[in-house]
Amino acid sequence: MYFSLPQQYREATSDELKDHIKVAKEKLGKKLIVLTHHYQRREIVEFGDYVGDSYGLSKIASQQKGVEIIVFCGVHFMAESADILTDDNKTVFLPNPLAGCPMADMADMADVMEAWKYLEEFGGDEVFMPISYMNTTAGLKAFTGRHGGLICTSSNADAAYRYAFGKREKIFFFPDEHLGYNTGIKFGLKPNEMVLWDFSREKGGLTPEQVERAKVILWKGHCHVHTNFTAEHVKEVREKYPGVKVVVHPECPHEVVEAADANGSTRFIVDFCEKAPTGSIIAIGTEINLISRMAYQYPDKTIIELSGKTCPVCANMYRTTLNDLAYTLESYADIKPIKVLEPTKSEALLALKKMLEIS
């Protein structure tokens, strides 16, 4: 996809863009809300009416009354989820249409259908409940809804496991193998009760015995931002900063989660920083924009990035700039909104509503 802003937005200075955004927001008043994900640049978050993780923001989107325009500063699947959760009087815009999620792209619709076809030989939806991580396309959310499954985020994956195992014997979890695995371990499953479906191999590379034995089938997908961290980083940061507290996101590999002091969703990490006493040293294993904002917000604490070596940036979250936001707010009437069509919208809504109910 090619995307280029009109020249005046490309060439404007930051101060000019900020003025444009302020004026446009005032003009649109209560008709508009700007939702900003925690991983956005700080200057974007400053213009958000709400900042949150994908769960928090989707909940906010679902509760809006009287709002007509939702500008979602995040990535594509989040804007789609906001559209699914809101009525047809609301229009959702993604300021940078190139902002996707590589993890969501790892679960391709055709590949998931092929896996499901194979799992049908083992009982299909009599036996397996699909749980789709929020980071999926609307089409996969609809697949999940059609088969009685639900969506989860890192805030409520354990509640989703509880719900699923209360109704069916096994879980088919996609697309993040690490969140699925870490949640399974937290839930009390043994490592050999979870198997990995490798979509590049025939029948996922699994034998019928492995599928029969498994309680969870995990999709082979990951977030490159969170798999950046290693257990060695945790060891090194502890040596360098005695007394440091290490908190990581559950999209990190299990050995990192195990070596950390705490793990949890983006919201959990924000709360962890907020509640830590003055003088604390906190090393965080997640996206760099959130870490930098926490360090800026809590100057009385030492907040650092866990690896100390690499820059765990989500390039897709980073795509949204003041230029994009100014253009979207001033020209939304000429921009193609994010629209999920029927029947995908209603089917995906079933799965999303179930998530909101159990959380």
Residues that bind ligand SF4 (CB under 6 A): 39, 75, 101-103, 135, 223, 225, 287, 314, 316-317
CB of 286 to ligand SF4, least distance (A): 8
User: What does the alpha-carbon distance between residue 68 and residue 90 come to, in Å, rounded to a whole number?
Assistant: 4
User: What does the alpha-carbon distance between residue 18 and residue 211 come to, in Å, rounded to a whole number?
Assistant: 54
**Nearest to ligand SF4 of 75, 351 (CB atom):** 75
CB of 99 to ligand SF4, least distance (A): 8
CB 18 within 8 A of CB 42: no
Backbone angles phi and psi of 174, in degrees to 5:
-145, 160
Q: For the chain, what's the residue count?
A: 359
Closest among 357, 103, 104, 51 to 349, alpha carbons compared? 357
CB of 225 to ligand SF4, least distance (A): 4
**Nearest to ligand SF4 of 276, 285 (CB atom):** 285
**Nearest to ligand SF4 of 77, 197 (CB atom):** 77
CB of 52 to ligand SF4, least distance (A): 14
Cis peptide before 175 (omega within 30 of 0): yes
Q: Tokens 């604490």 — which residue?
A: 301
**Nearest to ligand SF4 of 257, 317 (CB atom):** 317
Instruction: Give the bridge partners for 194, in sequence order.
Output: 216
Query: Which tokens belong to 305?
Result: 């990035």
**Nearest to ligand SF4 of 61, 75 (CB atom):** 75
Handedness of CA 240, 241, 243, 246 (dihedral sign): negative
CB of 197 to ligand SF4, least distance (A): 19
CB of 344 to ligand SF4, least distance (A): 21
Query: Which tokens belong to 279?
Result: 């003088």
CB of 185 to ligand SF4, least distance (A): 20
**Nearest to ligand SF4 of 86, 289 (CB atom):** 289
Closest among 99, 96, 77 to 336, alpha carbons compared? 96
Closest among 326, 229, 235 to 287, alpha carbons compared? 229
Q: Where are the alpha helices (DSSP H) in 52-188?
A: 54-63, 76-85, 102-105, 109-120, 124-127, 138-146, 157-167, 177-186
User: What does the alpha-carbon distance between residue 312 and residue 130 come to, in Å, rounded to a whole number?
Assistant: 30
CB of 103 to ligand SF4, least distance (A): 4
CB of 223 to ligand SF4, least distance (A): 3
Q: Alpha carbon 9 to chain centroid distance? A: 29
User: What does the alpha-carbon distance between residue 127 and residue 68 come to, in Å, rounded to a whole number?
Assistant: 41
CB of 161 to ligand SF4, least distance (A): 19
**Nearest to ligand SF4 of 140, 223 (CB atom):** 223
Instruction: Give the bridge partners for 172, in sequence order.
Output: 130, 217
**Nearest to ligand SF4 of 227, 302 (CB atom):** 227
**Nearest to ligand SF4 of 32, 316 (CB atom):** 316
User: What does the alpha-carbon distance between residue 282 and residue 279 come to, in Å, rounded to a whole number?
Assistant: 10
**Nearest to ligand SF4 of 178, 354 (CB atom):** 178
